[in-house]
Structure 1
């Protein structure tokens, strides 16, 4: 072991919701540990800074997408990106986190050297120069998708004479007033863009190969705003958060248990909003609700745009793109001056960082998740991959809280290496499970790169927040699987090492 300590105890990768959340939790629960955040972009916020398309907003309510320690105070529960960024900036400034963030540094590789009990992390700046840092722990809050390379649906635009845009790389000051806009896709991004562009554009068409289940709700939470008027801010937030977490859980489980009933209710809401313009075929996917994420339509904005004749949904298959639009297989031509390819994201594991241990590359698809935040036989590394059926931040909060507990136990023991150990014998007994029981295209396309998942805890990534919260909060850190080791010794604890020395 080197005589000098690492640069920081914990290096957090990413200054979005996950990274900022971990820093805030460390400030409250592991204050004796040093940390730094490295962020490849010049601004914090992650997704909420990267995406700039019209109407960019959360599709989860901010009482659950907000952190458990910081009340959401805006009137709207369904918030736009600027409001979410204001919330994050307030947290980093009030909690002294900003001084720990180093912007413009992209993590290229990270190698854990057991003899030094530290990660050696190589980072690249925008000018191509390299920076090296060391840390005892690596906390990956880099999100779940590829920032550089979105999903390519393989369209041929060689004959098309208009403008083609991917939402992930939205141009600044795009002029679309009076133009015909075609949005290809039916997910949350398309459902957000269509009504947001409808007021200025001559027309906006959402072209979908298959429909998506949609759920309309008010952007303002009436109960939350009422509680904020009569109760202290923090108490009102906790009550609303409790309500919304349990409503999310109930809605998901009801959809899985009684899909026909949920489908019927969703159709009734849409029919009520659209009236005689309602075409059930455009709103009936070939799968049950919550087999993919349900798209939120706040304040009926999409349906209002459709009813006003400013937007339309077309279900069909593209044959080719011609000079002035998209030709469908049934012969229909949808004219467009601008085509937006809202066809989805491409998943990435560990922020595409080349992770290794003692120089040996780590293949994440060969490792099992451990309690949804670490990986089998991989020391001193934690990660956040949020929920598919609930708000991302719910996982970020409980993972941060748990890793802070681990850090404190490590400090008490005088240990430097913490590893969830899975022996070959135990691994052979594991019954594997689908890591994501969702049929979404971006999920199915990426399963080959995803870590392994067991049927039973702790070697799994759950999609049940209430269960995870209980497990991580109540189960002991030392569960017989998570081992604590001092440098240069096979002893699991400092007490065992002292006994050996005597």
Structure 2
């Protein structure tokens, strides 16, 4: 291919929170750069369009899951899926972003060409047609899990005669009125589904192998709603956002420093909801609070469903699926017409796109994160993997802002290649860290495909938003590690570049 102009300066993959956020940031902070968003689905929203199970909602408050540039104005700060989609639709339309989105386009592969300073991207349309685009930058906002496959724990469904449903692929017309439902799992999805199905079902049982730490809070943020009445919208949003970020940060650090006290506080809140004589065993995990993400129970909805008798939590191991329900190893039988396998997600990195450099595979698991945003010795590539201990959008915002700064710096310098350079000598001196200090099953299962993580910044995916925000915003873009250059001019040889990429 001739060295002609790229189709786009930046190709954004995914029209969910991460992709829409990057487009909005570019409009404000890198307006001279062209971009397009490619989205495999027929609608924007990512997770919030894919998941259609009953009660689908945020498990973070929308003052931090919302963007820093767009106030969340709904009365409820714990919002349902449709309200989140409305928020994203408004951003896309008010900022004239929709015309930049190509729906029904799935990215299959992307090959970086050093001699051209651009990615050659192969896409497949919903009709099966192959297309080719080029872009100077690739920004991956495709999320963190596999859209095609959910985690399969390998259940032998045996003689079970009812319906089996996974939340990721919820059928449109599932009728559960008057039926017995068993929801297998104890994470955020199960905690959402159980109370939501209990209003129509005869009985909903949450069957958990191990308990999860839960905390309850009102779905409405009283301070946020009060501030919106007396202050300008953006000011009220900034204050509420700051308050929630601070409380989130303090809560996480308190849990890690004094896990027993945090556990006692969580149990105290549950007793307030269920009564002083309630059995706390179903709410007492074998791990400390925040060793896994806490499960949010907005407005006590799960606890209210339990008190009404329409929902229950059973802890045990499955022995067999029988015709009319589930048999546990202690011989307890749970009647079931429908089984919901809320057993977790399957992690995916870079949207499962086959990345390469001059035709040679780029395995991100062999590269270090750079500032939780780029990757060592991989040029013009950025991605979003949100916080595990805070809202996803907090990282999406600071990554977008940082890449916009990089784009502007590149243009000022006349550079079209930006690469976080990690020499073999420097890499040999790095002390590697566990990328995720979390025991959640989906996290542990996915570690093998994740990029490397160093103990010391910047070669890491950090889990401390307040510190990350300060660094990403205030540290100079040219930190001595980012190599800005023009292709073909004073560039290293292709062989040296490929060696670094490997």
Shorter-chain TM-score: which interval?
over 0.9
- Tell me how far 1:277 sits from its aligned partner: 6.1
Number of corresponding residues = 492
Q: How does 1:49-88 map to 2 (within 5 A)?
A: 49-88=49-88
Secondary structure in structure 2 of the residue aligned to 1:445: helix
Structure 2 counterpart of 1:199: 199
Structure 2 residue 246 is the aligned partner of structure 1 residue 246: yes
Structure 2 counterpart of 1:39: 39
Structure 1 counterpart of 2:94: 94
Structure 2 counterpart of 1:125: 125
Does the C-alpha gap of structure 1 residues 299 and 336 become closer, same or farther in structure 2, counting only changes over 3 Å? same
CA contact (8 A) 1:277 1:307 kept: no
Structure 2 counterpart of 1:186: 186
TM-score w.r.t. structure 2 length? 0.97
CA contact (8 A) 2:158 2:320 kept: no
Measured on the aligned residues, the alpha-carbon RMSD in Å equals: 0.9
Offset from partner CA, 1:400-454 (integer Å, 9 cap, x none): 0000000000001111110000000000000000000000000001111110000
- Tell me how far 1:158 sits from its aligned partner: 3.2
- Tell me how far 1:2 sits from its aligned partner: 4.6
* Aligned equivalents of 1:158, 1:380: Cα separation in 2: 50
Q: How does 1:378-457 map to 2 (within 5 A)?
A: 378-457=378-457
> Structure 2, unaligned stretches of length 5 or more?
493-502
- Tell me how far 1:278 sits from its aligned partner: 1.8
* Aligned equivalents of 1:193, 1:11: Cα separation in 2: 36
Structure 2 counterpart of 1:234: 234
* Aligned equivalents of 2:111, 2:22: Cα separation in 1: 21
* Aligned equivalents of 1:134, 1:25: Cα separation in 2: 21
Secondary structure in structure 1 of the residue aligned to 2:136: strand
* Aligned equivalents of 2:483, 2:275: Cα separation in 1: 61
- Tell me how far 1:489 sits from its aligned partner: 2.2
- Tell me how far 1:128 sits from its aligned partner: 1.2
Secondary structure in structure 2 of the residue aligned to 1:446: helix
- Tell me how far 1:476 sits from its aligned partner: 0.6
- Tell me how far 1:473 sits from its aligned partner: 0.6
Q: Which runs of 4+ in 1 moved over 6 A?
A: none
* Aligned equivalents of 2:230, 2:126: Cα separation in 1: 50
* Aligned equivalents of 1:195, 1:258: Cα separation in 2: 31
* Aligned equivalents of 2:139, 2:490: Cα separation in 1: 25
CA contact (8 A) 2:38 2:105 kept: yes
Structure 1 counterpart of 2:21: 21
Structure 2 counterpart of 1:481: 481
* Aligned equivalents of 2:280, 2:490: Cα separation in 1: 64
CA contact (8 A) 1:54 1:197 kept: yes
Offset from partner CA, 1:120-147 (integer Å, 9 cap, x none): 0000112211011000000000000000
Secondary structure in structure 1 of the residue aligned to 2:275: helix
Structure 2 residue 358 is the aligned partner of structure 1 residue 358: yes
Offset from partner CA, 1:288-342 (integer Å, 9 cap, x none): 0000000000000000000110100000000111111110000011010000000
* Aligned equivalents of 1:62, 1:173: Cα separation in 2: 29
Structure 1 counterpart of 2:208: 208
* Aligned equivalents of 1:257, 1:121: Cα separation in 2: 46
